[in-house]
Amino acid sequence: MGGLQEKWDNIYQDKPEEPTASFVLSQYSYLLITEGIALDLACGQGGNALFLAQSGLEVQAWDTSPVAIEQLKKQAKLKKLDIDARVRDVITSPPLPESIDVLVVSFFLDRELCSQLYSALKPGGILFYQTYCQQKTSKQGPKNPDYLLADNELLQLFSQMKVRIYQQDAFLGDAKQGLRNQAILVAEKI
Examine the pLDDT at 1 and tell me if it is beyond 70: no
| Size (the chain), residues | 190
**Neighbouring residues of 39: CB distance < 8 A, sequence distance ≥ 6:** 59, 60, 61, 62, 95, 100, 102, 103, 104, 120
- How far is the first Cα of the chain from the last one, in angstroms, to the nearest whole number? 34
User: In the CATH scheme, what is the code of domain 3-188?
Assistant: 3.40.50.150
Look up the pTM and report it: 0.90
Examine the pLDDT at 152 and tell me if it is beyond 90: yes
How does pLDDT run across 116-131, given as a tens digit for each residue?
999 999 999 999 999 9
Sheet with 121-132, edge to edge strand ranges: 83-87, 58-63, 37-41, 100-106, 121-132, 182-188, 162-167
Classify strands 83-87 and 100-106 as parallel, antiparallel or unpaired: unpaired
Q: Where are the domains of the chain?
A: 3-188
How does pLDDT run across 51-72, given as a tens digit for each residue?
999 999 999 999 999 999 999 9
Examine the pLDDT at 33 and tell me if it is beyond 60: yes
Q: How far apart are CA 126 and CA 100, in angstroms?
A: 9
CB atoms within 10 A of CB 130: 23
